[in-house]
A = this chain, B = another copy of it.
Amino acid sequence: MSHIFKPALDSIPAGIISLDDYEKSAREFIRHDILEYINGGVADDRSLHANRKVFQNYRLYNRVFNSFTETDTTVTLFNKTHPHPIFLAPVAHQGLVHPEAELATAAAASAMQAPMIISSLSNTPVADVSSQASTAWFQLYWQTNRRATSALLNNAIKAGCEAIVITLDAPVSGVRNRAQRAGFSLPAGLTEINLRDLPLPPPRVLNADDSPVLHGLMQDAPTVKDLRWLRKQTDLPLLAKGISHPSEAQIVTDLGFDGLIISNHGGRTLDNMPSPPELIPAIRQVIGPDIPLLLDSGIRRGTDIITALALGADAVCIGRPQMWGLAVAGALGVAHSVKILKEEMEIAMALTGSPTLTALTPDIFFSENSSEYQTSQSFACGD
């Protein structure tokens, strides 16, 4: 497989001091078509670009008078406490960029005590990966029917995964034009190893006029009944990834799910979508304050993390940065990326006067409306 990437470095090159630097550097290590598959969004990349740009809308007040006698960056989810709120999102096919693939990522996750959500589509068996990570969750793709899904789920449970995340927003693949134009296909030798030997049904037979999407793939997507069934298959914490509408968030919690990951799949499914920060407040309002909510898609800076948490998230996930870090410097690169984010987050907490994660509320945001109001009026002072 060595022909698909340039060997990663043994140390972090000087000048790599932010996640954007990793993104730039990674271009030299990853073959073009694979890079386009990883970095591309769908169609015109509008969702992709919006995911970064949206954070500009959340302007931050600095504050200087809050006490830092007690500080706390830990987050406790499902009775386990993590030292910081930075999680590793499920990222498929990490073998595309590094020979050690998910094992290297798990080593980094362990070093940084960042929970790792292992993808159904990992190139390394889930049990091997989870044994390396300090906290391993499993990302579950519905496998056409309950029997196959159950097999995949139980394999993850047996591997010691501590929570299950079912991804709901990708029953069909998005219009991945960048990957297609670059001629991307999965290199020979990389396998979806967790899916091998699943008891899948025979392929669906379609009529000539049937839509492969509507009459095909969509008929294999999980229904509400399937999710109700799934809920009963495990006592592990169960999270739904890829819900956007508040009413569907309500359905998920009514089904007895334990948490949500708000994500637009890194801009990889539907174009023209709202970005997760825009979605969080309304969803938090619907589900109440206690259900864990993670934000995925677009996190690249410490200020992004505190913004997400102030909007109502409990933790955040990073996706593509794992692949960039892996490509540039293997486990070291992934660990360094998490470390950069953690340090930036602490600086952002310090400067916004937020000694703890719970201090992060919408009060940290500057609202333009108030200032516009005031400039269009003479202001009355005093009394």
Task: Note all chain B residues with C-beta closer than 8 A to A15.
Answer: 181, 183
Q: In the complex, what residue of chain B is closest to A376 when comparing beta carbons?
A: B367
Q: Does A199 interact with chain B (Cβ within 8 Å)? A: no
One of B172, B245, B307, B381 near A347 (C-beta < 8 A)? B172
**For the complex, what is the distance from the CA of A73 to the CA of B215, rounded to whole Å?**
11
Q: Of the listed stretches A56-64, A104-112, A130-138, A144-152, name the one at the interface; the rest are far from the partner chain.
A: A56-64
Q: Does A79 interact with chain B (Cβ within 8 Å)? A: no
Task: Note all chain B residues with C-beta closer than 8 A to A271.
Answer: 60, 301, 303
**For the complex, what is the distance from the CA of A123 to the CA of B273, rounded to whole Å?**
42
Task: Note all chain B residues with C-beta closer than 8 A to A244.
Answer: 61-63, 366
Q: Does A374 interact with chain B (Cβ within 8 Å)? A: yes
The listed residue with most B CB atoms (<10 A of its CB), out of A44, A355, A371, is: A371
**For the complex, what is the distance from the CA of A365 to the CA of B183, rounded to whole Å?**
33
Q: In the complex, what residue of chain B is closest to A224 when comparing beta carbons?
A: B65
Judge whether A368 and B63 touch: CB under 8 Å: no
One of B218, B243, B378 near A350 (C-beta < 8 A)? B218
Distance (Å) between the CB of A313 and the closest chain B CB? 13
Q: Of the listed stretches A93-101, A114-122, A230-238, A284-292, name the one at the interface; the rest are far from the partner chain.
A: A284-292
Q: Does A362 interact with chain B (Cβ within 8 Å)? A: yes
Judge whether A175 and B282 touch: CB under 8 Å: no
Distance (Å) between the CB of A66 and the closest chain B CB? 9
One of B73, B219, B223, B369 near A376 (C-beta < 8 A)? B369
Q: Does A125 interact with chain B (Cβ within 8 Å)? A: no
Q: In the complex, what residue of chain B is closest to A255 when comparing beta carbons?
A: B65
Distance (Å) between the CB of A32 and the closest chain B CB? 13
Judge whether A62 and B289 touch: CB under 8 Å: no
A interface size (C-beta, 8 A)? 103
Q: In the complex, what residue of chain B is closest to A220 when comparing beta carbons?
A: B68
Task: Note all chain B residues with C-beta closer than 8 A to A381.
Answer: 284-285, 287-289
Task: Note all chain B residues with C-beta closer than 8 A to A177.
Answer: 17-18
Judge whether B378 and A169 touch: CB under 8 Å: no
- A54-86 CB mask vs B (1 if < 8 Å, else 0) is 011011111111011001010000000001000
- Can you list 25 contacts pairing A with B, beta carbon distance less than 8 Å? A15-B183, A43-B301, A43-B344, A44-B301, A55-B272, A56-B272, A59-B273, A63-B245, A64-B171, A65-B248, A65-B251, A71-B214, A71-B215, A73-B211, A172-B350, A213-B349, A214-B350, A218-B350, A218-B355, A281-B374, A284-B379, A288-B382, A361-B378, A362-B375, A362-B378
Excluding A71-B215, A282-B370, 7 further A-B contacts by CB distance (< 8 Å) are A18-B43, A18-B177, A44-B301, A65-B223, A71-B211, A174-B347, A287-B381
Q: Which residues of A contact B (CB under 8 A)?
A: 14-15, 17-18, 20-21, 43-44, 46, 55-56, 58-65, 67-68, 71, 73, 83, 168-169, 171-175, 177, 180-181, 183, 209, 211, 213-215, 217-219, 221, 223-224, 242-245, 248, 251, 264, 269-274, 278-279, 281-282, 284-285, 287-289, 301-303, 307, 311-312, 343-344, 346-352, 355, 361-363, 365-371, 374-382
Would you list the 4 A-B pairs with minimal beta carbon distance, nearest first?
A281-B374, A213-B346, A71-B214, A274-B366
